[in-house]
Structure 1
Amino acid sequence: MITPLRDVGQTGSATFVACPDNLGHVPDVGDKKHLGGALSANFDHLKEISPELHRLGVLAERFFAEDANTSLIKSRQFGEYMVKEIADALRRL
């Protein structure tokens, strides 16, 4: 079930997330019940490397057909977070 909730990371627009318990939080991808048990073969390899990239990738993919705007927002967040991770890694070299 997709429930409209305010995403704490966004201001001014509602984000639709799968959250059957209606607690108002963005689901943790590790908690399969929040995403209907569906994880992504495209992003599962990121789970150990960067849980946040994994979470954003799975959400972007999940909302692709249901809510294109949310998918686009999550894709943008994925790209921004990936650039941050790369910049942090380069600083440590």
Structure 2
Amino acid sequence: MKSITQVHTEEGRRIAKRLFNHWKHKFEVEETENAFFIPFPNAKVFLYPKETTLDVSIEGNNDVDFARLEQVVIDHLNRMAHQEFDVTWQHTEN
């Protein structure tokens, strides 16, 4: 299953980088030119900074508590950005 959302911000790269650095001490994170990858024990989180959004994707199997992980990710993004984002998550099958 996959859960996706868009965070509307012009600071997507900065926010994603802060979260990436925050989690790199706990997970084997990866950074590419266009994305940040954070592997949780049972799911994968991808952050794609764009010009006016930060696209977020969570991928995992049906055992993942997506609601909980979505909340963890957005809470951390809010903290990294020092603001509250209002997002709607969409769910799809892989």
Shorter-chain TM band: 0.3 to 0.5
Structure with greater proportional strand content? 2
* Higher radius of gyration, 1 or 2: 1
The normalised TM-score by structure 1 is: 0.33
Q: Which structure: greater helix fraction?
A: 1
- Structure 2 length-normalised TM: 0.33
